[in-house]
Amino acid sequence: MAIKLRLARGGSKKRPFYRIVAADSRMPRDGRYIEKLGTYNPLLPKDSEERVKMDLERVQHWLGQGAQPTDRIARLLEAAGVVAKKERSNPKKGEPGAKAKERAEEKAAKAAEAAEAAAAPAEEAAGE
């Protein structure tokens, strides 16, 4: 049985509230879980102590049993100091898309043409 530490969503529409749970990976997101390990309320400010509550002792127990945390849970555990910080790299995330690059090239070409056009009359006036 593959165990995952993950979030189970609760709360109403547009008002998310999550339970941090240990669940069988084959169960649905909000379905049956083995144990509730804490809560996560993303609507609270980041510096609030109520935002993330976890039973760290039980989390350690499940990690020792081979449970795999999801990405979000891994980040919460890193912030709590339970798991070592993992290096992440996504260099293409901040890169503009193909159409944005084309627009930037067109804008640069127009700016270069305008600069050349402005420089040409100034040279003629200086030569006279």
Query: Over the stretch 3-58, which tens digit does the pLDDT of each residue have?
Result: 999 999 999 999 999 999 999 999 888 889 999 999 999 999 989 999 999 999 99
Q: How far is CA 98 from the centre of its chain?
A: 22
Long-range CB pairs of 40-43 (<8 Å, 24+ gap) are 40/7, 40/76, 41/17, 42/16, 42/18, 43/15, 43/16, 43/17
Fold entry, domain 3-80? S16 Ribosomal Protein; Chain: A; (3.30.1320)
- pLDDT of residue 62 exceeding 60, the answer is yes
Average the pLDDT over 59-64 and give the result: 93
Q: Could you say which DSSP state residue 8 is in?
A: E
Average pLDDT over residues 63-90: 87
Tokens matching residue 107? 């804008």
User: CA-based Rg of the chain, rounded to a whole angstrom?
Assistant: 27
Q: Which residue has the higher pLDDT, 32 or 121?
A: 32
pTM here is 0.67
